[in-house]
Chains A and B, each alone.
Chain A
Amino acid sequence: GQNIDQPTEMTATEGAIVQINCTYQTSGFNGLFWYQQHAGEAPTFLSYNVLDGLEEKGRFSSFLSRSKGYSYLLLKELQMKDSASYLCAVTDSNYQLIWGAGTKLIIKP
């Protein structure tokens, strides 16, 4: 079966750095997405990786290793507004999106 694993919850301190991991087992791979979802709101796009390596976008970076079936989202200089759930999703060989259950990130002052 197809599976996306991410930690259920993480806690970090304002101003610090946090890394949210995502491992996947899917039938084929056509890209990996990270979305941010604040409580009670819709998911919004953060990043897309299709090749191995690091993609940097301001305070957020996303890394992909296709051979290991692994990605992480790195958030630097954490702000209180970063408290949200972070969803990892993989596009399989049929171009269907497989979603992880999300990681709830709690930021403490």
Chain B
Amino acid sequence: NAGVTQTPKFQVLKTGQSMTLQCAQDMNHEYMSWYRQDPGMGLRLIHYSVGAGITDQGEVPNGYNVSRSTTEDFPLRLLSAAPSQTSVYFCASSYTDSGANVLTFGAGSRLTVL
């Protein structure tokens, strides 16, 4: 099993450009999520999904869109990149969103916005 696959690993954007971070999992997990990780801060939840067709906002959703058309895929879209979105992004999934479920993380995508 590949687990959680994220692409690209690295990306440099100019302010105002748009892009999509791809995330796919092959574990039949219902719950998928996107986090950003910044120095000195805990992981912050951007958006999450508890199943195909269902998405919801996390702690820091502004500037990001998501969709969940299939169980496997959960892309994150930056519509108009800003320097404040420079960060490392992680996609994570688990069987459900209940308290005991362990998250499996993708390898991360390092985004720099100039």
Query: Footprint of B on A, CB under 8 Å?
Result: 4, 8, 30-31, 33, 40-45, 48, 50, 87, 89, 91, 95-102
Contacts and interface: CB of A to CB of B under 8 A. Distances in A.
A102 B100 CA distance: 20
Given A43-B90, A43-B105, A44-B105, A30 B43 contact: no
B14 to A, nearest CB: 24
Chain B contact-residue range equals 10 to 19
Interface of B: 40-45, 58, 90, 97-100, 102-108
Is chain B's binding surface mostly helix, strand, loop or mixed?
A: loop
A48 B42 contact: no
Nearest to B102: A45
A42 B99 CA distance: 20
A95 B95 CA distance: 14
Contacts of B42: 4, 87, 89, 98-102
Contact of A87 (B43, B44, B98, B104): B43
A41 B6 CA distance: 12
A5 B97 CA distance: 24
Given A87-B42, A100-B42, A101-B40, A42 B105 contact: yes
Contacts of B58: 96
Contact of A41 (B40, B98, B99, B107): B107
Contacts of B107: 41-42
A28 to B, nearest CB: 10
